[in-house]
Amino acid sequence: MPFLVPGGKPTTSDLNRHMAHAVDVAGEDHVGIGTDGMLSTVVIDDKARAAQKKFFEDRRDKGIAAPSEGPDVFNMVAELNSPMRFRMLSDALERARWPAARIDTVLGGNLLRLCDEAWS
């Protein structure tokens, strides 16, 4: 998620703002969020730092790194670094006054619908 803000270290509020923009542009029936990483807490240790540095350098060398990526910028929202990240995001969207039905749609309903349509 380093592309969300200059400096590459977004907050939950930045993610909420980005999701609201996506809904404004595409409509809530065409926005989804998922994970292509672990659902457990990401431990930031020397091994993780070395892996991030290599990941960034490989992307930079291929010319595909986002402007806010860096060797010390992890692809996550640090405030949501928990196995409860989707619950925490749901709670944050609720505090931002998103209707419960929209939260359900964006945090899983659209993906379920897409899979059903594709595999039917």
- Is 19 exposed, middle or buried (CB count within 10 Å of its CB: 0-12, 13-18, 19+)? buried
pLDDT in tens, 20-44: 999 999 999 999 987 666 778 889 9
pTM reported for the whole predicted model: 0.82
Amino acid at 107: L
Q: What is the pLDDT of residues 82-112, one digit of tens each?
A: 999 999 999 999 999 999 999 999 999 999 9
Domain span including residue 91: 2-119
Q: What ranges in the chain are assigned the alpha helix state H?
A: 12-26, 46-62, 85-95, 100-104, 110-119
pLDDT exceeds cutoff 90 at 1: no
Mean pLDDT computed over every residue of the chain:
91
CA–CA dist 50, 106 (Å, integer): 33
**What total of structural domains would you count in the chain?**
1
In this prediction, residues 40-68 reach a mean pLDDT of 93
pLDDT of residue 103: 97
Alpha-carbon gap, residue 11 to 25, rounded angstroms: 21
